[in-house]
Structure 1
Amino acid sequence: MDNFTATAGNASLCARDYNITQVLFPLLYTVLFLVGLVTNSLAMRIFFQIRSKSNFIIFLKNTVISDLLMILTFPFKILSDAKLGTGPLRTFVCQVTSVIFYFTMYISISFLGLITIDRYQKTTRPFKTANPKNLLGAKILSVIIWAFMFLLSLPNMILTNKRPRDKNIKKCSFLKSEFGLVWHEIVNYICQVIFWINFLIIIVCYTLITKELYRSYVRTRGVGKPPRKKVNIRVFIIIAVFFICFVPFHFARIPYTLSQTRDVFDCSAENMLFYVKESTLWLTSLNACLDPFIYFFLCKSFKNSLVSMLKGSNGATCPNPGNRKKGQSQGDPNEETTI
């Protein structure tokens, strides 16, 4: 059991058992790192052989970059949590890699929201092709998201500037200046707004997608065609990943942030919030390993390129808008006709 200061502004001591975070979570993050590094490196290799001829591909490319950056922060967290590094490593984690982790998390959330909007548009207007203005707009929007999150995150790095009192730093909040704690709390609330905006986007879009798929099911049933069950399953992979990875953490984050920046919880409540935060944070990290399933099931160019690569074929071709097979549902949001 280790003792540490309960809050940044409180000198009272609170005992906490770190065995779980020093043993179990480093092992879990090691698994995510190995799996995620392989799958996302492969995804990046494939995506950058595919031309960005649709908003969908542009958003997916940004997502894979974000996921790969997140995965590269895992080794530092693993070493730090397992107490295998020195004091400077813990300081580096608090000042740099933890900030990058959250920076990439909200970039991924933002692009999942944009991908959902794109899939809804594909459902309602399946034959609409992308034009240069739309593609430029998607690229500009992508740059804005990266720039906004960078500007939001940079002060968290700069304001984590206190010298540690000892080598065994228990909480990153001990390294933040007084304004750094205030900025940290502000950023957390802004990130909550980003999450809930995208949460509402996904709920609304998938409600409308479900209605459209049901109408399509009724139409095909009426003419004796079999319902496309596989399509329905693929459509909901985005919302499944979103709810598994991001929803639990955001229900836990506000009270945990308050426990870090204000003296509002007793010791037992603070400890419980810590373990809940660590568990749900691991689920957010799982997103980097689940996103490749989105690429595979929703992006035909990615799937074709991967299959060709595994078969040893040289250079997979992207689906042609004019090659839609006879009898394909016009409301299929998985159909990638604009690539």
Structure 2
Amino acid sequence: MNATAEAAFNRSERCPRDTRVAQLVFPVLYTGVFFAGFLLNTLALWVFTHIPSSSTFIVYLKTTLVADLIMTLTLPFKILSDSHLGPWQLRGFVCRFSAVIFYETMYVGIVLLGLIAFDRFLKIIRPFGKFFVQKPAFAKTVSALIWLLLFLMSLPNMILSNKEATPSSVKKCASLKSPLGLKWHQAVNYISQFIFWIVFVLMLLFYTVIAKKVYNSFRKSKSKDSRSNKKLEGKVFVVIAVFFICFAPFHFARIPYTQSQTNNKTDCKLQNQLFIAKETTLFLAATNICMDPLIYIFLCKKFTERLPCMRGKKTTASSQENHSSQTDNITLS
């Protein structure tokens, strides 16, 4: 196994990476995402400091916000490194630390979106129930375990990137990994894929049930207000929409890319093509830091009421309260 990994490492050094697109285009795009994400998430942080963690839903949203803020703070390192505006040592730091933290927070966010979907699912099937999984203490414990497990999974990727950093080797993060590091990186990739697809399948199941409940609620109320119906549908499905748009493309591209980095059979041209595909879909994943605030706005009534731009505006929800109390349980907390 070590011999195979060593051969992959040697081959990665012989295949120079075409970084022209990554150097010129993506830093500009990431800069826009960084500023937008920083503004949106610092605003969300201010709002959430005024909201008590009185429900599992709020706990999951706050934990998602922490993951997004940390991910946001890793972007300047990537921007400076990819654009070659920083010293080559910065690239080594990105490979060993900030990129690992970026991926860790990404998967924390993925699992939390699944938990948010699960919370909404429980809200509709047992709107007045109080299972132990619907208590804030449970949400806090699960959130802490998610952080701990993903940290323990990510830590070896930092430790095992222990090859000597040089101006040449830092061009490809795989070149910094030991033979065991390459194997661990490949294993983590498969574990990450497993996490994503399990969460994705469960979210589809949850939202199938939610969609049926929403449809039945509309039929019972015999609502003729199509605009209201469309607005509510958007609220119901915003979580899975964000999840699919941001994360699905990356997970289609990541496995072949990782395989190209950890074996000696992929030719150099294909390696560069897979690199561009990975970077493009990774950018979509990074836009999640700008899209998660949509979840706060659409699904969290307490968040919306605390927004400065909403002060002084009285919600009309009270006049519509009897229209469909069950659908309110799905979308707003």
- The answer (yes or no) to whether the contact 1:192–1:250 under 8 Å persists in 2 is yes
Task: Quote the Cα distance in structure 2 between the aligned partners of 1:151 and 1:11.
Answer: 27
Deviation at 1:220, TM superposition (A): 1.4
Question: 2:4 corresponds to which residue?
Answer: none
- TM-score normalised to the size of structure 1? 0.89
Comparing 204-213 with 131-140, greater Cα deviation is found at 131-140
Q: Deviations over 1:113-157 (max 9, x none)?
A: 000011111222334468798221111111100000011111111
Deviation at 1:194, TM superposition (A): 0.7
Aligned: 1:68 with 2:69: yes
Task: Quote the Cα distance in structure 2 between the aligned partners of 1:219 and 1:11.
Answer: 62
Task: Quote the Cα distance in structure 2 between the aligned partners of 1:117 and 1:27.
Answer: 36
- The answer (yes or no) to whether the contact 1:159–1:180 under 8 Å persists in 2 is yes
Deviation at 1:201, TM superposition (A): 1.1
Code of the residue aligned with 1:201 in structure 2: it is: L
Deviation at 1:216, TM superposition (A): 1.1
Question: 1:334 corresponds to which residue?
Answer: 331
- The answer (yes or no) to whether the contact 1:87–1:168 under 8 Å persists in 2 is no
Task: Quote the Cα distance in structure 1 between the aligned partners of 2:15 and 2:90.
Answer: 24
Q: Percent identity?
A: 48
Code of the residue aligned with 2:331 in structure 1: it is: N
Task: Quote the Cα distance in structure 2 between the aligned partners of 1:132 and 1:55.
Answer: 8
Question: 2:98 corresponds to which residue?
Answer: 97
Aligned: 1:274 with 2:264: no
- The answer (yes or no) to whether the contact 1:40–1:64 under 8 Å persists in 2 is yes
What does 1:214-229 correspond to in 2, within 5 Å?
Answer: 214-221=215-222, 226=225, 228-229=229-230
Relative distance call for 1:296 and 1:265 in structure 2 (3 A) is same
- Work out the number of aligned pairs and report it: 323
Aligned: 1:299 with 2:296: no
Code of the residue aligned with 1:87 in structure 2: it is: W
Code of the residue aligned with 1:257 in structure 2: it is: T
Question: 2:211 corresponds to which residue?
Answer: 210
Task: Quote the Cα distance in structure 2 between the aligned partners of 1:63 and 1:107.
Answer: 8
- The answer (yes or no) to whether the contact 1:124–1:331 under 8 Å persists in 2 is no
Structure 1 unaligned regions, length at least 5: 1-5
Question: 1:238 corresponds to which residue?
Answer: 239
Code of the residue aligned with 2:64 in structure 1: it is: T
Deviation at 1:234, TM superposition (A): 1.0
Question: 1:310 corresponds to which residue?
Answer: 309
Question: 2:124 corresponds to which residue?
Answer: 123
Aligned: 1:58 with 2:55: no
Q: SS at 1:246's partner residue?
A: helix
Task: Quote the Cα distance in structure 2 between the aligned partners of 1:108 and 1:215.
Answer: 31
Task: Quote the Cα distance in structure 2 between the aligned partners of 1:133 and 1:200.
Answer: 21
Code of the residue aligned with 1:270 in structure 2: it is: Q
Comparing 40-49 with 99-108, greater Cα deviation is found at 40-49
- The answer (yes or no) to whether the contact 1:95–1:160 under 8 Å persists in 2 is yes
Deviation at 1:324, TM superposition (A): 8.6
Deviation at 1:233, TM superposition (A): 1.3
Relative distance call for 1:136 and 1:11 in structure 2 (3 A) is closer
Structure 2 unaligned regions, length at least 5: 1-6
Code of the residue aligned with 2:284 in structure 1: it is: L
What does 1:1-339 correspond to in 2, within 5 Å?
Answer: 7-10=8-11, 13-14=14-15, 16-128=17-129, 134-166=135-167, 169-221=170-222, 226=225, 228-306=229-307, 309-310=308-309, 325-332=321-328, 333-336=330-333
Task: Quote the Cα distance in structure 1 between the aligned partners of 2:53 and 2:167.
Answer: 50
**Quick check: which one's helix share is greater?**
2
Code of the residue aligned with 1:334 in structure 2: it is: T
Deviation at 1:312, TM superposition (A): 6.3
Task: Quote the Cα distance in structure 2 between the aligned partners of 1:240 and 1:67.
Answer: 17
Task: Quote the Cα distance in structure 1 between the aligned partners of 2:243 and 2:252.
Answer: 13
Deviation at 1:327, TM superposition (A): 2.7
Q: SS at 1:9's partner residue?
A: helix
Task: Quote the Cα distance in structure 2 between the aligned partners of 1:64 and 1:219.
Answer: 37
Relative distance call for 1:12 and 1:73 in structure 2 (3 A) is closer
Task: Quote the Cα distance in structure 2 between the aligned partners of 1:79 and 1:297.
Answer: 34
Deviation at 1:215, TM superposition (A): 1.0
Relative distance call for 1:12 and 1:140 in structure 2 (3 A) is closer
Q: Deviations over 1:19-44 (max 9, x none)?
A: 21101000000000000000001101
Code of the residue aligned with 1:335 in structure 2: it is: L
Task: Quote the Cα distance in structure 2 between the aligned partners of 1:216 and 1:132.
Answer: 25
CA-based RMSD of the aligned residues comes to: 2.5
Relative distance call for 1:324 and 1:65 in structure 2 (3 A) is farther
Deviation at 1:18, TM superposition (A): 1.9
Task: Quote the Cα distance in structure 2 between the aligned partners of 1:270 and 1:11.
Answer: 9
Relative distance call for 1:284 and 1:116 in structure 2 (3 A) is same
Q: Deviations over 1:269-308 (max 9, x none)?
A: 21111110000000000001000011001100001101xx
- The answer (yes or no) to whether the contact 2:68–2:289 under 8 Å persists in 1 is yes
- The answer (yes or no) to whether the contact 1:125–1:331 under 8 Å persists in 2 is no
Deviation at 1:229, TM superposition (A): 2.5
- The answer (yes or no) to whether the contact 1:245–1:285 under 8 Å persists in 2 is yes
